[in-house]
């Protein structure tokens, strides 16, 4: 009941019919984040694409300038010196066949998966498990690489993966409600810029159609798309 009252009070402070300038939208989201934990601030973008077509898929990685406030668990498929490099860089789970067995058994102890190229024959067999969870390593995203140290460090340092869902919507966390307003503005603009740069050649018409911000437990706030350019 208390949560419902809080949510109703927060929702009443937001004009659903209005699109707010980015800085004002973030101010509203921060003021409405009243849960007992540090809520994640999430940005959602409706794109003018049809991701069912391969030439209209939007996916990428961006290192947010102020991090995300969240620590990702990193799993690395590697052997020998590269496995040691991954451990030294702070990877949470490192292995080869042993790690593959864990994954096949349903134990997935990571939020991002990195692999050296020579491990992809092994990792490929896990596609039906890792793929639907968005965890499959991908050379285009820098998660299939010999630079294991760089990939682990980037992931631990606030790197965010964005990926268009079936309806052409991207959801990504841009920080915590406790973040300074200016840092959230900077992170939001960095993410939007990365999505803009990832625009597929097959996308026609208006690319960024709607943008909204919300905290984990708070109401959504529509953002004026023109205000995102900075």
Domain ranges in the chain are: 2-68+159-224, 74-156
Dig out the tokens for 205 from the structure: 């018409």
What tens digit of pLDDT does each residue of 116-154 get? 999 999 999 999 999 999 899 999 888 999 999 999 998
- Which band of pLDDT confidence, cut at 50, 70 and 90, is reported for residue 54? confident
Q: How much is the pTM?
A: 0.78
191-222 pLDDT tens trace: 999 999 999 988 888 999 999 999 999 999 99
- Alpha-carbon gap, residue 152 to 116, rounded angstroms: 12
Q: Work out the mean pLDDT of the chain and round it to a whole number.
A: 90
Task: Identify the architecture of domain 2-68+159-224 in CATH.
Answer: 2-Layer Sandwich (3.30)
The full DSSP string for 39-65 is: PEEEEEEEES--TTSGGG--EEEEE-T
For 94, the 3-state DSSP assignment is strand
- What angle separates helix 22-32 from helix 181-197, to the nearest 10 degrees? 120
Query: Tokens 């593959």 map to which residue?
Result: 100
pLDDT of residue 11: 57
Domain 74-156 is found in CATH 3.30.420.40: no
């Amino acid at each position: 009941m208390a949560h419902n009252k809080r949510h109703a009070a927060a929702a009443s402070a937001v004009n659903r019919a209005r699109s707010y300038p980015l800085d004002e939208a973030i101010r509203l989201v921060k003021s409405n984040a009243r849960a007992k934990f540090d809520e994640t601030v999430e940005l959602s973008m409706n794109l003018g694409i049809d991701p069912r077509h391969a030439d209209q898929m939007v996916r990428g990685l961006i290192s947010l300038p102020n991090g995300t406030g969240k620590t990702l668990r990193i799993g690395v498929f590697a052997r020998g010196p590269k496995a040691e490099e991954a451990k030294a860089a702070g990877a949470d789970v490192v292995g080869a066949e042993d790690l593959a067995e864990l994954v096949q058994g349903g134990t997935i102890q990571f939020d991002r998966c990195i692999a050296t190229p020579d491990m992809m024959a092994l990792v490929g067999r896990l596609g039906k498990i890792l793929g639907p969870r968005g965890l499959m390593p991908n050379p285009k995203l820098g998660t299939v690489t010999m630079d294991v140290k760089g990939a682990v460090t980037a992931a631990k340092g606030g790197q965010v993966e964005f990926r268009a869902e079936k309806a052409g919507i991207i959801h990504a966390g841009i920080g915590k409600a406790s973040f300074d307003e200016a840092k959230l503005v900077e992170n939001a603009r960095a993410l939007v810029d990365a999505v803009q740069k990832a625009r597929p050649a097959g996308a026609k018409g208006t690319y960024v159609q709607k943008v909204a911000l919300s905290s984990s437990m708070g109401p959504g706030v529509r953002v004026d798309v023109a205000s995102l350019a900075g």
